[in-house]
């Protein structure tokens, strides 16, 4: 069955430091992968997505992610974190029902120290 694992439940970084959030997926075919961000008490916003082509994808707010098929990973990165990046981040894969039936990971909560 398709699944998404985000190994880190909580991550704390200092403002200005680099960030990498891990995501591993299980999917039998070429995956369609997404990263979403959720501020407290809010809905989710799409950061970036990967369908095909270049394995390094750029998103909004300075985020990027790299698809590595050999590692079944789609890690999210940002070179310099801002205090406003504190939020919960969800990795998702399109499930067998179609592109928009997403299977989400459990999320990683990011805290940013000043």
> Which residues contribute to the site for another protein (CB under 8 A)?
4, 9, 32, 34, 36, 41-46, 49, 51, 90, 94, 98-102, 104-107
What pairs with residue 48 in β-bridges? Answer: 35
CB of 114 to another protein, least distance (A): 26
- Between CA 70 and CA 25 the distance in angstroms is 11
Token pair for residue 13? 């970084």
CB of 64 to another protein, least distance (A): 17
What pairs with residue 96 in β-bridges? Answer: none
């Amino acid at each position: 069955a398709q699944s998404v694992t985000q190994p880190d439940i909580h991550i704390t970084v200092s403002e200005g430091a680099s960030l990498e959030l891990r995501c591993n997926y299980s999917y039998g075919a070429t995956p369609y992968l997404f990263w979403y961000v959720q501020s407290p008490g809010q809905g989710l916003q799409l950061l970036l997505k990967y369908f095909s082509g270049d394995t390094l994808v750029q998103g909004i707010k300075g985020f990027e992610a790299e698809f590595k098929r050999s590692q079944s990973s789609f890690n999210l990165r940002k070179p310099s974190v801002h205090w406003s990046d504190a939020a919960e981040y969800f990795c998702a894969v399109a499930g067998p029902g179609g592109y928009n039936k997403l299977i989400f990971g459990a999320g990683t909560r990011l805290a940013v120290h000043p």
